[in-house]
Amino acid sequence: MSTTTAAAGTAAAAATTASALTVEEWARRARKAAAELGVSTTQQRNDALTAMAAALQANEDELLSANARDVEAARAAGTNEGLIDRLMLDHARLVGCADALLQLREFPDVLGEVIDRRTISGGVEMEQIRVPLGVVGMIYEARPNVTVDSAGIALKTGNAILLRGGSLARHSNDALIAVLREALASTGLPEDCICPIDATSRETSAALMGARGLIDVLIPRGGAGLIAAVVEQSKVPVIETGSGNCHIYIERTADVERATAIVVNAKCQRPSVCNAAESLVIDRAALSSLLPPIVRALRERGVTIVADSESYPVCAQTLDEDGLAGGDGDGDGSVVAGLEHATEADFAAEYLDLTISVKVVEDYREAVEHINRYSTHHSEAIITSDEAAADYFLARVDSAAVYANASTRFTDGGEFGLGAEIGISTQKLHARGPMGLRALTSSKYLLHGAGQVRA
């Protein structure tokens, strides 16, 4: 192990560190590298992925010790365990990162795909082909696996990438990027295809957002605040990602067991992710029949219910009767823990924890109206046995993924068959929903003539 560790140490020392160059300097290097990468072969890029995966494994000690420094500092700063869990690398996670790179090799190359081909005026041969976007900028939080995933997807699609991760992960990212750059260089591709951006300064984010003409797209990935700031301030085109105020709507004809299972899955399976449900919308007519079993199931899993004025009494009575949550069992709905009154702000909230709001509506028309008003346009579901209701909901809900009778948790590049995913777009321009390899491409018209001029 000592030789590889030494090699990594040398690599890290030789590599230009994030803070050594300005954002503009890194972006110019990336642009130059992108021009080379854009004309590389599929084989070259796949070989680089192989080398990158191998380098992660060969430099495990080095990488884990850099990560340990970050984790230690984060703990010392009183960072919560959820964030520390996302920050932490171990053997299994590093193997996971390497495997993700190896899997990328298996995907067909999307570059060069012919989108359109025809003969135009005077016999000029036109071809519209898929090309890289060029230089991609990522601004994200302290998750080292995102560093590797993003670098891999960018490389596979012929894009250079500027990586500005969270400052909590700075040693991990410096080490990871140094190792990946060295691996790239060993295969003959420019190491500046993967560039680190100093995460210890806020100014570097601002510089990324201002680098129009040098960066082709900026992808913020993380909390709603980060994403809103980038969307608000960037002059570089942005793809808005990830924020998910997802709704499950229980239509009056919903099957009770199906509804309960889906709500529990969407809310509880992994509450911290963007495709988890944050709000339950339910028909007035189904309030007394369908809401109690769902509320019971949610409370059994520790979910806090934030109910609107109409649903509150039903929830209170259910919980009180069951004595589930601080009720005294007398059925009068008093003394209930785990139940709160919803305010307007709750309908717009992305809790990302074991909390769910409840909103009562008259029918599916009102449900659609409510959802389109408060949703972040990520994923929404209707649970129903009425095909007309489902059709109406699927056609009119203005979100990236709309479900009938399934959990919103399926919204994911892997689940949707895209393989790699660089984020989930909640805007309509360029890419919508889980973004796979094609989301990092553009197109270009190539025209072959024999002297034709326009008449």
Residues 216-255 that bind its own copies (CB under 8 A): 216-217, 231-232, 235, 237-239, 255
Q: Which amino acid is at 361?
A: V
**Cα 372 from Cα 424, distance rounded (Å):** 18
Find the binder of its own copies among 124, 285, 335, 352 (CB under 8 A).
124
Region of 86-94, 137-145, 193-201, 209-217 interacting with its own copies (CB under 8 A): 209-217
Residues 136, 139: Cα–Cα separation, whole Å: 10
User: Among residues 269, 321, 322, 348, which is the contact residue for its own copies, using CB under 8 A?
Assistant: 269
Please, which residues have CB within 8 angstroms of residue 237's CB and are 6 or more apart in sequence?
216, 217, 218, 430
Residue with tokens 């009183």: 78
Q: Which is nearer to its own copies, 241 or 407 (CB)?
A: 407
Residues 155-184 contacting its own copies, CB under 8 A: none
Residues that bind its own copies (rule: CB under 8 A) add up to a total of 71
Closest CA to 271 of 341, 356, 342: 356
40 binds its own copies (CB under 8 A): no
Residue 136 CB, nearest approach to its own copies (Å): 11
- Restricting to residues 288-327, name those near its own copies by CB under 8 A: none
Which residues inside 416-455 make contact with its own copies, applying CB under 8 A?
416-417, 427-430, 432-433, 442-454
Considering beta carbons, is residue 340 or 412 the nearer one to its own copies? 412
Q: Which is nearer to its own copies, 26 or 392 (CB)?
A: 392
Is residue 39 near its own copies by the rule CB under 8 A?
A: yes
Distance in angstroms (rounded) separating the CA atoms of residues 358 and 248: 10
| CB-count burial class (<10 Å; 0-12, 13-18, 19+) for 424 | buried
255 touches 446 (CB < 8 A): no
Q: How far is the CB of 351 from its own copies (least distance, A)?
A: 19
Q: Which of residues 365-384 bind its own copies (CB under 8 A)?
A: 372
Shortest gap between Cβ of 9 and its own copies (angstroms)? Answer: 37
> How many C-beta neighbours within 10 Å does residue 92 have?
8
Q: Which is nearer to its own copies, 59 or 265 (CB)?
A: 265
Contact residue for its own copies among 3, 77, 80, 118 (CB under 8 A): 118
Binding status of residue 212 toward its own copies by CB under 8 A? yes
HEC secondary structure over 144-209: HHHHHHHHHHHHHCCCEEEEECCHHHHHHHHHHHHHHHHHHHHCCCCHHHEEECCCCCHHHHHHHH
Nearest distance from residue 343's CB to its own copies, in Å? 21
* Encoded tokens for 293: 């079993």
Interatomic CA distance for residues 68 and 75, integer angstroms: 10
Nearest residue (CB) to its own copies, 187 versus 442: 442
Q: Rule CB under 8 A: is residue 385 a binding residue for its own copies?
A: no
Any residues with CB less than 8 A from the CB of 275 and at least 6 apart, and which?
244, 246, 266, 378, 379, 408, 409, 410, 411, 412, 424
Give the range of 74-82, 98-106, 210-218, 334-342 binding its own copies by CB under 8 A: 210-218
Pick the binder of its own copies from 411, 421, 422, 423 (CB under 8 A): 411
Is residue 15 a contact point for its own copies (CB under 8 A)?
no
